[in-house]
């Protein structure tokens, strides 16, 4: 991965400034006043204890993420990077408004942001094609990473991502926030406790997969300052500019989202099923598509059904619609539990309803607040996050194997250890892709 030259023409960081100020104070023989907030008194967080953040990609989802991050007093956002000027400015407005100043610095090139020594961690909320390259560049620059999902575009990328985070000792959190939300955690507890009996079937709701191979019609390319089209494409193959892409219309285009949209929800719901099956270090071994689902089987005999939902809020035959989006269901030989983004939980038999009494906080499933807090705590402690790179690697592996079986229209067998399809060269060619220079992994 090519990186830009180091840029040193910037004022000293807050940490450097404080150290210099304190050193100067010690050397002076006259009294010198330093506000109590500098030392973290009066309820403030000392600057030395704050996590400094840079944001890469300021789209709609990022606005939710950054709002939750700014709620934490021990985090300070220093910079925003986006290839579109309007989004950069929107990000600055959000950050400066929260802090009551105009200090947030803007960049159009993520390499310039990553070169800053005073930034501890980054939030990566770009389009999918940039998630792995951006995360790897951040790790190489010594930054911890909170990345939106899908965190990789291919099976090979998942492996590269995990290996890089280990190599650099990076604290990594995938934005699969439902692992940090109470109702989903309760469903997992019931699956693990034995109160459902032996788990035999897991249900993960996913969008009906679809993929687009054609290009949108070319339009006049804006100036680099307005939208850096070459940087927007990044590692993806070149194609002519069209404003629909940069306004969110890139979704389902194979070059930008190779999972045929299956990971839009599957990155969450399949991940939860993996957790319910104690399968965070593996993936199903068989995948078979049909008109309504992709059915997978684990080596331990558990079945995973990735059921297609034609619309995010439409009728869902067999599901409890009032439980909201991203529903999952775990079924054992003595009962079942189902939950979704509304925060509610349904169980069978009725005797299990007593388990729901402890569920006092109904939190929207898209709220990343607790997940962000887990990341920040782990940045400080250097512990593994709830959705670390290894966990993400295997849940994404399951999703991509399912997507490839759907793309090829046939049953596939996967070796989770080698992450290769057994006896199927065509399927294995989908494991990776070629990247556009200079963004080669």
- Statement: residue 281 has pLDDT above 90: yes
pLDDT at 35: 47
With a cut of 80, say whether residue 115 has pLDDT above it. yes
Across 266-281, average pLDDT: 98
- What's the chain's average pLDDT? 90
Identify the CATH number of the domain defined by range 178-210+259-365+389-429: 3.30.360.10
Instruction: Dump pLDDT digits (tens) for 360-382.
Output: 777 889 999 999 999 999 999 99
pLDDT at 317: 66
Please give the pLDDT value at position 41: 55
pLDDT at 248 over 90: yes
If pLDDT is split at 50, 70 and 90, which confidence band does 48 have? Answer: confident
Strands 199-207 vs 303-309: parallel, antiparallel or unpaired: parallel
Task: Give the pLDDT confidence of 425-441 residue by residue, as tens digits.
Answer: 999 999 999 999 999 87
Res 183 pLDDT > 60: yes
Domain ranges of the chain: 15-177, 178-210+259-365+389-429, 215-247
Can you give the pLDDT at residue 39?
A: 47
CATH classification number, 15-177, choose in 3.40.630.10, 3.30.830.10, 3.40.50.720, 3.40.30.10: 3.40.50.720
- Say which residue, 311 or 175, is predicted with more confidence: 175
Residues in the chain: 441
User: CA-CA distance, 398 to 405, in Å (whole number)?
Assistant: 11
User: Does the pLDDT value for residue 43 go beyond 70?
Assistant: no
pLDDT of 319 reads 84
Mean pLDDT computed over 122-132: 97
pLDDT digits (tens, 9 = 90+) for 403-432: 999 999 999 999 999 999 999 999 999 999
Digit-coded pLDDT (tens) for 387-401: 999 999 999 999 999
Pick 252 or 46 by higher pLDDT.
252
Q: In the prediction, which pLDDT does 358 show?
A: 77
What pLDDT score does 3 carry? 43
Could you give the percent of the chain with pLDDT greater than 90? 83
The answer, yes or no, to whether residue 100 has pLDDT greater than 70, is: yes
Asked whether residue 312 carries a pLDDT value surpassing 70, the answer given is no
pLDDT computed for residue 432 by the predictor = 96
Q: What is the mean pLDDT of residues 333-353?
A: 96
- Predicted confidence at residue 362, as pLDDT, reads 79
In this prediction, residue 304 carries a pLDDT of 98
């Amino acid at each position: 991965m090519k990186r830009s030259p180091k840029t040193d023409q910037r004022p000293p960081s807050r940490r450097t400034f404080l150290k210099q100020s304190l050193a100067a104070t010690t050397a002076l023989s006259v009294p010198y006043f330093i506000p109590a907030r500098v030392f973290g008194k009066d309820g403030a967080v000392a600057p030395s204890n704050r996590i400094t953040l840079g944001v890469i990609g300021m789209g709609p989802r990022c606005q939710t993420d950054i709002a939750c991050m700014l709620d934490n007093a021990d985090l300070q956002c220093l910079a925003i990077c986006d290839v579109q000027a309007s989004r950069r400015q929107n990000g600055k407005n959000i950050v400066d408004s929260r802090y009551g100043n105009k200090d947030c610095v803007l960049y159009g090139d993520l390499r310039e942001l990553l070169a800053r020594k005073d930034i501890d961690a980054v939030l990566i909320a770009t389009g999918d094609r940039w998630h792995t390259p951006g995360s790897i560049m951040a790790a190489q620059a010594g930054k911890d990473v909170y990345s939106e999902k899908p965190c990789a575009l291919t099976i090979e990328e998942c492996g590269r991502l995990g290996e890089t985070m280990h190599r650099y000792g990076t604290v990594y959190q995938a934005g699969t926030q439902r692992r940090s939300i109470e109702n989903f955690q309760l469903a997992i507890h019931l699956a693990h406790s034995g109160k459902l009996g032996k788990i035999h079937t897991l249900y993960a709701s996913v969008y009906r997969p679809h993929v687009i191979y054609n290009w949108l019609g070319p339009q006049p390319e804006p100036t680099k300052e307005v939208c850096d089209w070459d940087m927007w494409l990044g590692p993806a193959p070149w194609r002519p500019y069209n404003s629909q892409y940069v306004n969110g219309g890139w979704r389902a285009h194979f070059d930008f989202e190779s999972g045929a949209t299956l990971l839009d929800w599957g990155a969450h719901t399949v991940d939860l099923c993996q957790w319910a099956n104690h399968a965070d270090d593996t993936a199903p071994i068989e995948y078979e598509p049909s008109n309504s689902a992709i059915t997978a089987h684990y080596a331990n005999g558990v079945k995973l059904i990735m059921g297609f939902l034609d619309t995010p809020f439409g009728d869902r035959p067999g599901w409890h619609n009032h439980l909201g989006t991203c529903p999952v269901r775990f079924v054992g030989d003595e009962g079942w539990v189902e939950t979704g983004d509304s925060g509610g939980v349904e169980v069978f038999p009725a005797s299990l309803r007593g388990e729901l009494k402890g569920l006092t906080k109904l939190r929207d499933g898209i709220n990343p607040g607790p997940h962000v807090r887990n990341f920040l705590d782990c940045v400080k402690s250097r512990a593994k996050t709830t959705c670390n790179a290894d966990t993400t690697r295997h849940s994404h592996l399951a999703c991509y194997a399912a997507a490839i079986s759907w793309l090829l229209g046939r049953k596939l067998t996967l070796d989770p250890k080698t992450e290769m399809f057994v006896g199927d060269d065509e399927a294995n060619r989908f494991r990776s892709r070629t990247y556009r220079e200079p963004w080669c992994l």
